[in-house]
């Protein structure tokens, strides 16, 4: 795995995903199953990671633009993104 922010081979500059604070984190953290118990801990952990991310706005814009219906994107849950769209 390349160092965080180093970009992919053949690219001049890293994209927002390579700069994300979640790079290298467990995927399950951002896709909690359920709404209680361990899922609440996962949601809190994911949001804490997003809170310190320098590309959180780009992540949220991507999720809204592409209709991501599951998981934590841009620091928001799927329900919070649905509420934001309204």
Give this prediction's pTM. 0.80
Q: Is the pLDDT of residue 7 over 60?
A: no
- What span, in angstroms and rounded, lies between the C-alpha atoms of 74 and 57? 6
Contact 42, 32 (CB under 8 A): yes
Contact 63, 22 (CB under 8 A): no
Could you report the per-residue pLDDT of 13-66, keeping only the tens digit for each? Answer: 568 899 999 999 999 999 999 888 999 999 999 999 999 999 999 999 999 999
């Amino acid at each position: 795995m390349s160092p965080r922010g180093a970009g992919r081979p053949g690219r001049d500059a890293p994209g927002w995903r390579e700069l994300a604070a979640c790079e290298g984190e467990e995927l399950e953290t951002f896709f909690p199953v359920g709404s209680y118990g361990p899922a609440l801990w996962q949601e809190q952990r994911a949001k804490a990671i997003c809170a310190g991310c320098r590309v959180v706005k780009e992540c949220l814009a991507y999720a809204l633009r592409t209709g991501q219906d599951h998981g934590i994107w841009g620091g928001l849950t799927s329900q919070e993104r649905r509420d934001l769209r309204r």
